[in-house]
Amino acid sequence: MSVDGRNEAAEGGTVPERAGDLRRTRSIRFSDSEWEEVKRAAREHDIPAAEFVRQTMLGLARGPEGAGAAPVPPSWAPLIERMFRYAWFLATEKRDEMLREGRGEEVDRLVAEARAFQETLGRGAPD
């Protein structure tokens, strides 16, 4: 591995960050229009542009395992919780309505399908 970071991926492997590793400034060039795109995307994720670039590049460098691992901005937590509560409320209301209408078997089938899907998600994507 070189001091300036130019040959870090030369052997094709990734080097995991270790506790105590110092982050150093690296030089990378963007045109003004490219940097504006980066800043816009970073704002959408509610993180600084430099952090957006670092996380995006590390995700690409780590391959499929690192892809899609963009962090959820802390400011989204209340929105996610509110959406979950609304979905739970609506699902509960619909379930109760179906039970009052004598559609219990349909409710049981939907619950079984949802649990099977949940298990599929827990196992990860098929190869």
**How much is the pLDDT for 89?**
93
Provide the 8-state DSSP code for 73.
P
DSSP reduced 3-state for 72: coil
**How much is the pLDDT for 21?**
78
Residues of the chain below pLDDT 70: 1-19, 64-71, 124-127
Tokens of 122: 């827990």
Task: Dump pLDDT digits (tens) for 70-86.
Answer: 667 777 888 889 999 99
Domain ranges in the chain? Answer: 32-65, 74-123
**How much is the pLDDT for 109?**
94
Amino acid, res. 96: D
DSSP of 4-71, one letter per residue? TSTTTTTTS------TTPPP--------HHHHHHHHHHHHHTTS-HHHHHHHHHHHHHTGGGTTT-PP
Task: Dump pLDDT digits (tens) for 82-99.
Answer: 999 999 999 999 999 999
pTM recorded for the entire structure: 0.41
**How much is the pLDDT for 119?**
86
